[in-house]
Structure 1
Amino acid sequence: MGGKAITEELVRRGHQVTGLARNADKAPQIDGLTNVGIDIFDPASLRDALRGHDVVVSAFAAGHDLSPDTFYRQAEGTRRIIGAFKESGAGYLLYIGGVASLYTEPGVQVYDSPGFPGTYFGTAPAPFLHWLGEITGVGLFHESAERRERGELGPRESDPVIVGVVDSWEAIPLLEGCRIALDLFAHRTDIDWSFLSPPWLYRPGKGSGSYHLGIDYVPMENGHPAGIDVPDLALAVCDETERRALIHRHWTVSGAQENF
């Protein structure tokens, strides 16, 4: 999702881009883009693929199910990306993580904050819930979205059904894996890196053509977690690849959200 939009924007700006993917043969064939098949768990091949690049953008995500394997793949995959990047001698690693590593107050990350995950999922708008249903295959998200669309729930009213279900989850492996990924970067000065945590309501959309930059803390809008459309996050990533203004920083972005 994000990787495709970022690639297209970088090519549009005139950059020469190497797209790394497990199924590179399915990637689009466009001028300015070279597609390379890669398994990030093969560190030697990954190192060789990264060598010679000015900037490396990692949009790696291990999956959206609740299997512990997802946590392992995200954490270990990130460790291998960092190792291959360092050995490759590439210039700058911009890693896209997840919202769970952002802070709601000093010392408290989103994942550990009161009300997570229930109120975050339970007050999400219908488009975001439908998107969650599509990527996770969990029908409850679609059902909750439909209740909101029928007017059974206000735009910011918690859905007690979905709150009850997600509060019972003992783990959310992808979010936990993305959170521990930040620990693998924090305090490192041997490589140039930055860590982008998208806001809670990050989803496909038209985009507004602009974004707001934040550092460390979850962005809020009218007392609720803010969001951003994929095209606007891609703009922010591409701007940072060119400016390199956030080296060794943990950052986030938010933007205008239609129908939120």
Structure 2
Amino acid sequence: MKIALIGATGNIGSRVLNEALTRGHSVTAIARKTAALDARPGLNVQAADLHQPAALAPVLAGHDAVVSAVHFLASDFGKLLAAVRQSGVKRWLMVGGAGSLEVAPGLKLIDAPGFPEAYRAEAAKGGEFLAALKAEATDLDWSFLSPSAMIVPGERTGKFRLGRDTLLTDAKGDSRISMEDYAVALVDELEQPKHIRQRFTVGY
């Protein structure tokens, strides 16, 4: 599979890159700091401006899927959508946020008591991106993968649960996933799509 990965040098993007390459996929890594990416079999590195759809679209063209792994506050949904549409690629998988997941019927994590203020702006923007995908990207085969409340560097176990719109918690009430296992779930979805035009989530 040929994958265009936007934000390949970030915390999540770098792990998605490693997971995809390890599985033998061809990845075009699109990043601002391309010097941070070492040469690897199957890797093509491209610099592109996310805010210039006309320049980004040709870089995305010819791939089987586009993965967006960039912070919501650092990107623009309308411009990303325009670039993907202009590229002709139909499959678009977005690294999502946890803030829009429900912790109780009608109550989102971002609105629950104790939600960290430091993450509120990014979480709110992520919710806006998800809503825009549902409303505006009906012509594309998009998916939005929300992590658990806590996503940190850790082990690649390959053992986790998938859900839809409700925050996943373990027996102790903790909601967590390693960045490595998040990447496994994302590449699994690329290889065997099960959540077309849906948000889904991953956790232990």
Smaller-chain TM-score bracket: 0.7 to 0.9
Number of the residue aligned with 2:36: 26
Deviation at 1:83, TM superposition (A): 1.6
Number of the residue aligned with 1:111: 110
Number of the residue aligned with 1:96: 95
Query: Is the contact made by 2:93 and 2:143 (CA closer than 8 Å) also made in structure 1?
Result: yes
The structure that has the greater radius of gyration is: 1
Report Cα offsets for 1:190-214 as digits up to 9, x if no partner: 1110111111111101232222111
Deviation at 1:223, TM superposition (A): 5.4
CA distance, structure 1, for counterparts of residue 68 and residue 160 of structure 2 = 20
Comparing 182-191 and 232-241, the one that deviates more: 182-191
1:38 aligns with 2:48: yes
Structure number having the greater strand percentage: 2
1:3 aligns with 2:2: no
Match of 1:194 among 143, 147, 152: 143
Number of the residue aligned with 1:184: 132
- Per the normalisation by structure 2, the TM-score is 0.88
Report Cα offsets for 1:152-188 as digits up to 9, x if no partner: xxxxxxxxxxxxxx5xx7x821111111111111144
- Structure 1 segments of 4+ aligned residues over 2 angstroms from their partners: 105-108, 222-225
- Per the normalisation by structure 1, the TM-score is 0.70
Query: Is the contact made by 1:192 and 1:247 (CA closer than 8 Å) also made in structure 2?
Result: yes
1:203 aligns with 2:152: yes
Query: Is the contact made by 2:65 and 2:90 (CA closer than 8 Å) also made in structure 1?
Result: yes
Q: Pairwise mapping of residues 54-203 of structure 1 onto structure 2 (< 5 A)?
A: 54-62=64-72, 70=73, 73-74=74-75, 77-113=76-112, 115-117=113-115, 166=117, 172-187=120-135, 188-203=137-152
Between the aligned residues of both structures, percent identity stands at 31
Report Cα offsets for 1:67-108 as digits up to 9, x if no partner: xxx4xx34xx23211221111111300001111111122332
CA distance, structure 2, for counterparts of residue 21 and residue 88 of structure 1 = 17
Number of the residue aligned with 2:178: 229
Number of the residue aligned with 1:216: 165
Q: Return 5+ residue gaps in structure 1 as ranges.
A: 63-69, 122-165, 256-260
2:99 match: secondary structure? helix
CA distance, structure 1, for counterparts of residue 157 and residue 81 of structure 2 = 32
Distance 1:180 1:116, change over 3 A: farther
